[in-house]
Amino acid sequence: MADWVEACAVDDVDGEDVIRFDHGGRSFAIYRSPDDQFFATDGFCTHEQAHLADGLVMDDIIECPKHNGRFNYKTGQAKGAPVCVNLRTFPVKVEAGKVMIDIG
Amino acid sequence: MTAASSTKRDYSLVGESTRRAIETGLASAEWYHTDVPRKTMKELMQRSDGPAIRDTIIWVVAILGSAAGTVWFWGTWWVVPFLFVYGVLYGSSSDSRWHECGHGTAFRTRWMNDVVYHIASFMLMRNPVQWRWSHARHHTDTIIVGRDAEIAVMRPPDLLKAALAFTGILDFRYSLPTLVRQAFGTLSDDEKSYIPQMEQHKAVIAARWHMVVYAATIAVAIALGSWIPLVLIGLPRLYGTWHMVLTGLLQHIGLADNVTDHRLNTRTVYMNPVSRFIYWNMNYHVEHHMFPMVPYHALPKLHELIKHDLPVANPSMWHAYREVWPVLLRQLKYEDFYLKRELPPTAKPYRGEFHDLDITAAAAE
């Protein structure tokens, strides 16, 4: 069942960047791609406890700040060692200048 | 300096120190970071192929040129300078290429990092899969005894072993049999402790590829009745390692262990431009450990930005070795002794909760 929550305003995230969003004891990463689309994933790397919001967004890739593990933030796919487990992604929509994610 | 009861360290990755590190929260802990605004850090982290392509072209041309000189002057004394250059490029500069490309920060383009990573791993006789994971552990648990697989000088220090490291003999004696063992499908318990199960077969396959190349090199040497193929492939690991050891030892030697602040266990040393090219700026080592996302070519800029919060860098390798030598001598008797580096007045002080553990109780300031 869908559970849409407001994560941030559109302008809170720079182009080709990521911010952290915490809600209900969970942590998420909200991305803005170079072509101004928004995406959301779990906040923490699946390798070790590092928050991806401190990482680097390059095209479709988020690179973890701790060990440089890379994921495709659009699909959650882990792109190779040291990350082997995919990242969970969440549906995103933009409404009235707000970025909404479905955390259900 | 504070007197303390000596604690015997167990450097295996599945032993008493491992258990203790996990129990005390030292393993996979939260580390101190200097505050850097996100916008600035984002700029510093930006990747670019340009600097690494330029440096790699220089590197490859220098390797091929010195190899050609070695072949041309083989049998004369003129071969010595070419072997000297070739050895350092093969046996030492490959370490920094392995390191930077392993982090994926040297080039923006992933395949370029991967190609140079695998070539450099081969030059170093390092299993590229095993060492990718051991280095990830080194960054998670830097100089945490029982967790870090890359502690170069253990306590109490074996000074003979450290001296022999400059010749490459010990590393060669370790690396080659390790690759042979792995090629036959056996990983040690330590290796299994940091290579995930789903990756272990890849480590075996990688070791086999390395063995194939060495076997081919030996076959060519026999077929030609010449030592040259072996002098160019494999043996530089012996005669060209000294610069890697000279620079690499300084990263952590003599400093604190079992702490979670890189300012306490890692050293930044100013170096000459040639060594910095060979070492790809890894002399800015505190900066690298605090922010491993920053590419080698941006480290000098990062250093300028955060040096107010770091111990003053050693002005030279000579200075750093002079500083650490008495500490090593002291550690022969008191292995808990270490060099606690002083912070400038502008720095945030070392935080007790980060490092006041009973394991590290004696320090020289």
Question: Could you report the per-residue pLDDT of B135-191, keeping only the tens digit for each?
Answer: 999 999 999 999 999 999 999 999 999 999 999 998 888 999 999 999 999 999 999
| Among A51, A63, A43, residue whose Cα is nearest residue A103 | A43
- Residues of chain B with Cβ-Cβ distance to A81 below 8 Å are 129, 132-133, 136, 199
Side chain identity at A35, as an amino acid letter?
Answer: D
The yes-or-no verdict on residue B73 having pLDDT over 50 is yes
pLDDT reading at B207 higher than 50:
yes
Could you tell me if the ipTM is greater than 0.90? no
Read off the pLDDT of each residue in B59-74 and give the average, rounded to a whole number.
98
- On whether any CB of chain A is under 8 Å from the CB of B118, the answer is no
Q: Which of B129, B133, B293 sits opposite A65 (nearest CB)?
A: B293
List pLDDT tens digits, range A4-24.
999 999 999 999 999 999 999
Q: How many domains does chain B have?
A: 1
Q: Is residue B2 part of a domain?
A: no
Window A:15-74, CB contacts with B under 8 Å: 17, 47-49, 55-56, 58, 63, 65-68, 70
What is the reported pLDDT for B4?
43
pLDDT digits (tens, 9 = 90+) for A29-83: 999 999 999 999 999 999 988 999 999 999 999 999 989 899 999 999 999 888 9
Contact criterion met (CB < 8 Å) for A81 and B133: yes
Nearest to B136 among A55, A70, A82 (CB): A82
**Residue B10 within any structural domain of the chain:** no
> Considering only CA atoms, which of A52, A55, A57, A37 is closest in space to residue A88?
A52
Q: Which domain holds residue B233?
A: 16-364
Position B2 pLDDT exceeds 90: no
- Is B133–A63 a contact, with Cβ atoms under 8 angstroms apart? no
Q: What is the fold of A4-102? A: Rieske Iron-sulfur Protein (2.102.10)
Q: How many CA atoms lie within 13 A of B97 on its CB side?
A: 32
Bridge partners for B293 per DSSP: none
Determine, yes or no, domain membership for B73: yes
Closest CA to B147 of B276, B241, B248, B25: B25
The mean pLDDT value of chain B amounts to 93
Of B43, B101, B233, give the one whose Cα is nearest residue A56: B43
**pLDDT value at position B361?**
43
Q: pLDDT value at position A49? A: 83
CA distance linking residue B245 with residue B239, whole number of Å: 12
In chain A, domain spans: 4-102
pLDDT value of residue B5: 46
**For the residues B349-360, what does the mean pLDDT come to?**
60
- Give me the pLDDT at residue B363, please: 58
State whether residue B293 sits within 8 Å of chain A by CB: yes
Q: Say yes or no to pLDDT of B68 above 90.
A: yes
pTM: 0.91
Contact criterion met (CB < 8 Å) for A66 and B199: no
Residue B7 lies in a domain: no
CB-CB neighbors (< 8 A) of A71 in chain B? none
User: Does B8 fall in a domain?
Assistant: no
Distance, in Å, from the CA atom of B331 to the CA atom of B315, rounded to the nearest integer, reads: 24
Q: What is the average per-residue pLDDT within B85-93? A: 97
